[in-house]
């Protein structure tokens, strides 16, 4: 743990080893960057990221909108934001398909995702292969009596702010909220139950579409053995949050480095296509069946 990672290796070698079945316990860490091509905005990309578009919500600082303590005090900005970005339909991206392809080939140990959009499952992964470290938007509950509600019910409430003063409420009067992990709240026990053994067993770590700015998730990459290749695929370098993000305090530095890790800068869907071309899996990738997530269209009036 915490030892030097040797990366004399390059993407060609990683792909040859993947193809030959050398890696049997591939672990994936991913974040919002794998869903941007499905139309879900990320958080910290300058100008496009959510944290740069929050002026109208009148927040004390951008991350407040996803803070548990702020939500309990005033859930309205959270729901206003959700109303503004709620998608009609979510279609898994080539990167989501690639995760399912690794599973289909029998090489995938686990996917650790920070995303709450459920696209890993729509891309074809079974429940047991995914750890949703920051929860999910697809289930919700009353924060007072814990009664559960369906996503269509929540969506209906979200789009009728005139009925509920902009905040979905349970019959008991409690605020209903999705099962997402807000800042300051506990991560799911499944994360802690599985991560030690998964990262100990991991023989290839692929990190896709995340700034690695948020702890404790961003500490996971340091858990793999010193001889395990770590490949970081992202538009920007790990820890390169940009001046504005740093001024706004949007995250922590991490210590992946070009000297010791394989850092592949670029669009993750394009990198997935490159990997599949090098492994000869292009056709296999295109055959992965996907089930787009249709958000309820029957909102009553
Ligand atoms: P960020 O917005 O911090 O990082 C997303 C990264 O993906 C950025 O570095 C982008 O450059 C990169 N990116 C965007 N589109 C890409 C693409 N098509 N191909 C390759 N790279 C791309 O999002 P996360 O790292 O997921 O937590 O953020 C982590 C956590 O911070 C979230 O789960 C959320 C947030 O606050 C909570 O709300 C608790």
Where in the chain are the domains?
4-294
pLDDT at 238: 81
Print burial letters for 129-144: b (CB count within 10 Å at least 16), e (below 16): bbbbbbbbbbebbbee
Instruction: Find out whether 97 and 121 touch, Cβ atoms under 8 Å.
Output: no
Whether residue 230 has its Cβ less than 6 Å from ligand 1: no
Strand order in the sheet with 26-30: 130-132, 108-113, 26-30, 204-208, 229-234, 262-265
CATH code reported for the domain at 4-294? 3.40.50.1220
d(CA 160, CA 166): 7
Ligand 1 touching residue 43 (CB < 6 A): yes
Is residue 156 in contact with ligand 1, taking CB distance under 6 Å? no
Phi, psi (degrees; rounded to nearest 5) at 96: -60, -40
Ligand 1 pocket test: pick from 98, 234, 242 the residue with the most ligand atoms within 8 Å of its Cβ.
234
With CA atoms as reference, report the closest residue to 32 among 123, 104, 113: 113
Task: Tell me which of 42, 47, 52, 185 to substitute to probe ligand 1's pocket, judged by most ligand atoms within 8 Å of the beta carbon.
Answer: 42
Question: Was 170 annotated as part of a binding site?
Answer: yes
- Confirm or deny that 140 is annotated as ligand binding: no
Active-site position among 134, 138, 160, 252: 134
**Is 134 among the catalytic positions?**
yes
The reply to whether ligand 1 has any atom less than 6 angstroms from the CB of 235 is yes
pLDDT tens digits along 225-263: 988 999 999 999 886 655 555 555 556 666 787 777 999
pLDDT at 207: 97
User: d(Cα 117, Cα 191) in Å, to the nearest integer?
Assistant: 17
pLDDT digits (tens, 9 = 90+) for 17-30: 999 999 999 999 99
Q: Residue 224 has what DSSP assignment?
A: S
**Chain CA centroid to CA 276, Å:** 22
CA 120 from chain centre, in angstroms, equals: 9
The pTM (predicted TM-score) of the whole model is 0.93
């Amino acid at each position: 743990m915490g030892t030097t990672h040797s990366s004399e290796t390059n993407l060609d070698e990683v792909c040859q080893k993947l193809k030959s079945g050398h890696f049997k316990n591939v672990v994936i860490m991913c974040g919002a960057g794998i869903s941007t091509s499905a139309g879900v905005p990320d958080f910290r990309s300058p100008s496009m990221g959510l944290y740069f578009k929050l002026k109208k919500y009148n927040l004390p600082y951008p991350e407040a909108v996803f803070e548990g303590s702020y939500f309990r005090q005033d859930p309205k900005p959270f729901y206003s934001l959700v109303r503004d970005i709620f998608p009609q339909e979510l279609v898994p991206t080539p990167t989501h398909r690639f995760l399912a392809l690794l599973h289909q080939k029998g090489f995938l140990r686990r996917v650790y995702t920070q995303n709450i959009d459920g696209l890993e499952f729509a891309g074809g992964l079974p429940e047991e292969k995914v750890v949703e470290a920051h929860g999910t938007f697809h289930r919700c509950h009353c924060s007072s009596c814990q009664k559960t509600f369906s996503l269509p019910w929540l969506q209906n409430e979200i789009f009728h702010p005139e009925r509920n003063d902009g905040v979905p409420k349970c019959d008991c009067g409690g605020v209903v909220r999705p099962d997402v992990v807000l800042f300051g709240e506990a991560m799911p026990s499944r994360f802690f139950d599985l991560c030690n053994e998964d990262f100990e067993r991991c023989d290839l770590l692929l990190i896709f579409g995340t700034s690695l700015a948020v702890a404790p998730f961003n500490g996971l990459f340091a858990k793999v053995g010193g001889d395990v290749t770590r490949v970081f695929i992202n538009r920007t370098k790990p820890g390169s949050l940009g001046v504005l993000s740093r001024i706004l305090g949007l995250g922590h530095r991490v210590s992946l480095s070009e000297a010791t890790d394989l850092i592949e800068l670029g669009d993750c869907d394009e990198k997935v296509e490159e990997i599949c071309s090098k492994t000869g899996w292009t056709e296999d990738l295109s055959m992965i069946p996907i089930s787009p997530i249709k958000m309820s269209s029957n909102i009553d009036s």
